[in-house]
Amino acid sequence: MNKPRPLKKGDQVAIIAPAGPADKEQLTQGKRVLEEMGLDVVLGRHVFDVEDDIETLDQKRLSDLHEAFRNPAISGIFCANGGFGTARIAPMIDYAMIKRNPKIFWGYSDITYLLNAIQKFSDLVTFHGPMVASDLNDEERTRETESSILSLFTGEPLTYDSRRSPLNPITSGTGEGRLVGGNLTLLTNGLGTPYQVNADEAILLIEEVQEPAFKVNLMLTHLQQAGVFDTIKGVVVGHFQAEPDEYKNIKKVLQDFFARASFPVVENFQIGHCQPNYGVPLGVNARLTTSPSRLEVDAGVSCFSTNGGG
């Protein structure tokens, strides 16, 4: 799996919106955060576009994605926000071009579909992390969320333990493998497609937003019956955003589902639809332990990666 090169001050990065139009005020606020890190930020031409025609909309989103990867002046690509529809553009992406132009690609939620597709067909490490408009705006942003982006500059590995949030083991043990996954709905939607997550001997990250407990159970069961859990080495349970009463039901679903798992499962990682929202690279090696509860993740960027031509 190829790693993109790290960012440095003065680098140009692009913001695109492949899952839905960005809120202008929130995007402006989030853009300023990246600029204060020393980055030169450019916007995709269609980040605010709304179209009634789905085909036209998909072509606009695709063109922003392709232009950002193809442009040698751009070192990183940050998604503005989530939404829906990235599965529609996945078959149209020029993965060979992306493989020739490896660079940081950062987002989550509906972007999960693209994170997994680019990993699979471009052999490129991708990043599950806070998005510019929805997570870095003035109302939502926390210092921890903002600081999680700094690993893109330093190339340091990540250690996530109980100093960041209380981590609760559901099943005990130690597991090591590639960190893969993302939003539970998108992972389930990808089953049976060319873009299905490859969880073979991997550590699987799952997170979700505003889905009821019964649907969480259905999706986990779907993954199980599709063989996703057959050879995995561990499960990292990120944030499951829900109203307090429903969250209790979700926690019971998770506890019951994983109670007899043969691999370690740890819950309450602040990854996903939450604040703080910690960014993590996907496709790199990780180690999950339960005594103590800790996730160690290799760096997602490499000083030895170089960009090729488009």
Neighbours of 197 (CB within 10 A): 26
pLDDT at residue 266 tops 70: yes
pLDDT at residue 310 tops 90: no
Residues 6+ apart with CB under 8 A from 185: 208, 211, 219
Residues catalogued as catalytic: 109, 207, 273
Cα 176 to Cα 93, 202, 264, 288, distances in angstroms: 31, 7, 10, 6
Taking the domains of the chain in order of start, what are their residue ranges? 12-154, 158-297
- 12-154 belongs to which homologous superfamily? Murein tetrapeptidase LD-carboxypeptidase, N-terminal domain (3.40.50.10740)
Equal fold, 12-154 vs 158-297: no
pLDDT digit string (tens) for 202-230? Answer: 999 999 999 999 999 999 999 999 999 99
List the one residue out of 151, 159, 126 whose CA is nearest residue 292: 159
Percent of the chain residues past pLDDT 90, beyond the cut: 96
3-state secondary structure 39-66: CEEEECCCCCCCCCCHHHHHHHHHHHHH
| CATH code that applies to domain 158-297 | 3.50.30.60
**DSSP conformational letter for 138:** T
Q: Locate 112 and state its tokens.
A: 């999960």
Cα 192 to Cα 142, 179, 189, 227, distances in angstroms: 38, 21, 8, 11
Q: How confident is the model at residue 146 (pLDDT cuts 50, 70, 90)?
A: very high
What is the number of residues in the chain?
Answer: 310
Q: Locate 211 and state its tokens.
A: 């889905």
pLDDT digit string (tens) for 2-60? Answer: 999 999 999 999 999 999 999 999 999 999 999 999 999 999 999 999 988 999 999 99
Residues 6+ apart with CB under 8 A from 3: 102, 125, 281, 284, 299, 300, 301, 302, 305
